[in-house]
Amino acid sequence: MSSDKTTVAVIGLGIMGSPMAVNLVKAGYDVVGYNRSKAKTEALVAQGGRAAESVADAVSAADVVVTMLPDSPDVEAVVLGEEGIVANARPRSLWIDASTIRPDVSVRLAELAGRRAIRAVDAPVSGGEAGAIEASLSIMVGGSADDVEAARPVLDAVGSTVVHVGPAGAGQTVKAANQLIVAGTIELVAEALVFLDAHGVDAEAAVKVLAGGLAGNRILDRKAAGMIAREFAPGFRVDLHHKDLGIVTSAAREAGVAIPLGAVVAQLMGALRARGHGSLDHSALRLLVDELSGRN
Ligand code: NAD
């Protein structure tokens, strides 16, 4: 570790965490990474980062800790466990949770971290693997104004749109809304592609013109080519979007909000997963539409 650099610990070096950690190295931070399966630290180390042996090892000398883990229980374990962040991070250090988790869990963990003088910011991201690699993520940030300002240089190194949306947990609420829109849009694009196919229309030509009009959207731009070719390497796994739609439906229910289309898409995502496709990209919703239409 070099003493003049800010040390950032990154816990969870998967599809998103690994390129984010690499971009932090490129931005000049001293980055120490930890992942449960050790091989995933390789990309970070190749770029000049360091690999830690445990969460405690990673966070004990860090100024900033970034978590990028799958789900609420994973974040709870890494934050509250004996070897975890609350027990081992330095007082006044900043914990940025970039994972997508339940807003209520986020609020509770921020409160528990605060009791140990660890400053917590929830900063879930959107933009997918490509956005993580390009450091162009859209980041929805919850926390106190001071803590969010302290987190901003780190967030600017991995994202291009960083917006403070409210107090602790608010970032996760905005992310849940994001996942509702993304899932619904993928389903509509999938239905459109199967519809075009059934009518014998060239899907690539159709997407080109659709993308230029009011139907244009990022799913068409980024996912349609793979959906046409039926290539569904993740990207964003069906398992994770299923988790997120669970967050959306329960948070909507708690708020007394009806999300009829969201509820249908949540069922479709669950069915895709139940059919054994949990590790495919979420754009594999197309497979289900093919199947429902007798076209596979
Ligand atoms: P991933 O499964 O590829 O990565 C998660 C990593 O965490 C894995 O490498 C896993 O080994 C590691 N891990 C799990 N438990 C651990 C523990 N206790 N200690 C250390 N490491 C542990 O998932 P991902 O796609 O990178 O997503 C991470 C988070 O970001 C999720 O909450 C997801 O919903 C969100 N997200 C993903 C995308 C995307 O496109 N992939 C986009 C936006 C947000």
Q: How many CB atoms are closer than 10 A to CB 77?
A: 13
Which percentage of the chain shows pLDDT scores above 70? 99
CA 150 to chain centre: 21
2 has a pLDDT exceeding 60: no
For residue 3, the model assigns a pLDDT of 59
Tell me the CATH architecture of domain 173-292. Answer: Orthogonal Bundle (1.10)
Long-range contacts of 214-221 (CB under 8 A, 24+ apart): 217/185, 217/189, 218/185, 219/182, 219/185, 219/186, 219/189, 219/283, 220/189
281 φ, ψ (degrees, to nearest 5): -65, 150
236 has a pLDDT exceeding 60: yes
How many CA atoms does the CB half-sphere of 114 hold within 13 Å? 12
The residue whose CA is least distant from atom 9 of ligand 1 is 14
For residue 296, the model assigns a pLDDT of 80
170-190 pLDDT, tens digit per residue, is: 999 999 999 999 999 999 999
Active site residue 175: yes
Rounded to the nearest integer, the mean pLDDT of the chain is: 97
Residues with CB under 6 A from ligand 1: 11-17, 34-37, 40, 68-70, 74, 77-78, 99-100, 125-126, 128-129, 235-236, 240
For residue 4, the model assigns a pLDDT of 81
Output the CA 28–ligand 1 centroid distance in Å.
Answer: 23
- Of 5, 26, 38, 175, catalytic: 175
Output the CA 278–ligand 1 centroid distance in Å.
Answer: 14
| 7-167 fold | Rossmann fold (3.40.50)
